[in-house]
Structures are given as structure tokens and as C-alpha cells.
Amino acid sequence: MTAEINFEDFKPRVDAIEEAFQQKWERFRYFVLEPDRPEFAEGLNSFGPEGISLLEKAKSALTQAKEFQTEMLGRKSRLSALRKEIRNVAAADRGVAGQAMTRLELQMSQPLEIVETHLNHFIGTILTRQEALDVTLPGWRPRRGHLHPITLVRERIEDIFVSLGYAIEDGREIETDFYNFTALNIPDNHPARASQDTFYTSDGFALRSQTSTVQIHAMQRRGAPLRMIAPGRVFRRDTPDPTHNPMFFQVEGLCVDRGITMAHLKGTVAEFLRRMFGAQTVTRFRPSYFPFTEPSAEFDFSCFKCGGSGCRICKNSGWIELGGSGMVHPNVLRGAGVDPEEFSGFAFGLGIDRMVALMYGLDDIRLLFENDVRFLRQFD
Ligand SMILES: [Zn+2]
């Protein structure tokens, strides 16, 4: 039988628990206030380092409040241990000891419950605000990217020719000597064949120096009559400068049928340029020489900027030189398996990059190939 204790012995143990509670309670006392009070958020500051969010601090405070509650009021708490000793208190003091215990328990449990309720409420408010979909806010979206200016102009050119009944042909960029030169009526001793003008692979293939190669493939594959354009990349051994690059883009056109004349060529090129640069555009042809056409002509169009009166873009001439053209040489038709006695045709070619540089007023064609986003972004 344990010796009986009286209230005077019991009371200090109750007070000790209360004192321990008060020490730790200091950090939590702000959370008895309503969560929208500024002191509430200030109180959270001791629950995490500077820089972490109020949400994280509130979660930490809630966890610690629950631990505090378990420590003070749980099954293994000093309070719980003390409660078991009430039976050892002298019968006369047992009532007052019990009251002191109950008072202490409520003194600790009630504010802690309020603290947990308020912290839960505070956390819930932040989460709701974060998850709420506010359709009036500008969204976060990744940059979508956009087409390269060369692609934009190429597609415009393609659209115009497709509407004129032309097919779009694609071709290989590495070619045999035959397709790059011989089939185009370029003689063996022609300077273009020299390795200072054309890139060759170590086993003797050429990087195509013009898209005309595609014409030969198309005629061999599809025969005549034929209407096609071939946009694509070509390669020449140029030293890069503001108007030259060793890799650039061309578009080549070919029309082969019975009774095709120079008038069809002029009409087609003129119509293309009118659709590209406006109905007022005037086209002119100047006699020229290319091995694969006979007769051959270079074509210019009236400056789209000044309309012919002279400006910086047309170097005050009123005209812009654009490309080469002519009637397909009978040797080229014959080499591709088309009978020049029955069929005739015209061909033309122009540089897409040059056209882009003109249309967008670029001083340096190399800008188009440097992949500098600060430059390319302007075409979005
Ligand atoms: Zn001009």
C-alpha cells in the first residue's frame, strides 16, 4: 500500500506541468488569433527559415502543435502519469486535486485545439487560392516557336505555283556528276565543275550546286508533259559575306509540254512576281547565257519598295535582279528521256534567301543561317 499524499504535495507537480506548457506555448500563442490578423502570419516566422513560404511555415507549425499536444496531453504525458496518482491522494484532498488536474488539462487542450483549427484553416485558404483557376490571369505558356523566314517565303512561293498547277518536287542534296552537270548540258571543262566551285565528297559525289538536278529526276520519273517547282538547299564554295553563303536556298521551276514558248515563260514569271509583290509589278528579261537553256534570259522586276523611282533596295536603278531562266536546252530534254522534237519547255530559278533579304530589308544574308533567336524572333 502506497503512502497517501495530500494536496500540498500534489500541487507542485501540477504547477510544474503548467510551467513546462507555458514555456513552449509562447511560440503558439499567436495562432489563437484569427488567421487573417497580421500577428498570425508574424507568428509563423519562428517556424522556418527566411525565404520559405508561409504555407511551409504553417505546415511546420501545425506539425509541431500536434507534437506539443501529444507531449502535454497524450498517453505518455506527465499529466497522464499524474492522473494515475490521484488515487493516492488523501480522500479529503482528492476532490480538489482532481479539479486542479481538470483545470490544467482544459488550460492546455482548449487553446491547442484552437491553434490547430486556425492553422488548418490558414493552410486550406492558401491551398485553395493556389489551386483556384483564375481565368482572368495571363497564363504561363511555353514559347510556341514559329517558322523560319526562309520557310515562310518558300511556302508563299509554293502556294503561288501550286495554284498555277505546278507540283512541288523534292530531291537529294548529294548528287552524281551526271545529274549535277552532264544532264544539265554543262561541258566537262566548265569551271563550275572545278572543286573550287563545287563541294565534293571524298568518293566523288557533288553537293548539288543548283536545284536543277531535281528537274532531271522528275522528267526521268514522270516524263512529259510536266509542271513542277523544286525548292531546296544548294551548296557552292563561296566565302561567306553579306550577300554570299556556301549554303543557300533556291527554287527552280520547269514546264515541259507540246508547243511551250518563251511567251509562256514570260507570262508565268510575270504572274508569279505580281502575286508575290503586287499587281503593279513589272517584269523585264535580259538576254543571258546558261548551258542548260537556249535562249537564256535573266529576269528583273520593278522595285517593290519604290515602284521603279529608285531607292536603297534597288540601288537607285528601279529594278531588282532576281533570277535566271530560258527555254530548256534540247540536250537536257534528250538526256532526261524527253523528245525535243515533240516537247519544249522553259525553266527558271531564283534564290529564296535573296528574296527574303530583299523583302525584310536584311543587310546581311548570313543572319538567316546563324540561328540567333534574337534575330529570328522578329519573324514571329
Ligand atoms: Zn527601289
C-alpha cell at 237: 564554295
Contact 308, 317 (CB under 8 A): no
CA distance 299 to 194: 27
CA 203-207-211 angle, to 5 degrees, is: 145
Residues near 127 by Cβ (< 8 Å), separated by ≥ 6? 55
Residue pLDDT tens, the chain, 380 long: 456 788 888 899 999 999 999 999 999 999 999 888 888 988 998 898 888 888 999 999 999 999 999 999 999 999 999 988 888 888 888 889 989 999 999 999 999 999 999 999 999 988 888 877 767 777 677 777 889 999 999 999 999 999 999 999 988 999 998 888 888 888 888 877 777 788 889 988 989 988 888 988 999 999 989 999 999 999 998 888 888 889 999 999 999 999 999 999 999 999 999 999 999 999 999 999 998 999 999 999 999 888 889 888 888 999 999 999 999 999 999 989 999 999 999 999 999 998 898 888 888 888 999 888 888 888 87
Ligand 1 center from residue 148 Cα (angstroms): 25
pTM: 0.62
| Residue type at 373 in one-letter notation | V
Q: How far is the CA of 320 from the centre of ligand 1 (A)?
A: 8
How far does residue 358's CA lie from ligand 1's centre (Å)? 10
**302 Cα–ligand 1 center, Å:** 8
One DSSP character per residue, 68-89 reads: HHHHHHSTTSHHHHHHHGGGGB
**3-class DSSP state of 301:** strand
The alpha carbon of 72 and the centre of ligand 1 are apart by a number of angstroms equal to 90
- The alpha carbon of 378 and the centre of ligand 1 are apart by a number of angstroms equal to 23
CA of 303 to the centre of ligand 1 (A): 4
Cell of 112: 491547442
Q: How far is the CA of 377 from the centre of ligand 1 (A)?
A: 27
Bridge partners for 207 per DSSP: 174
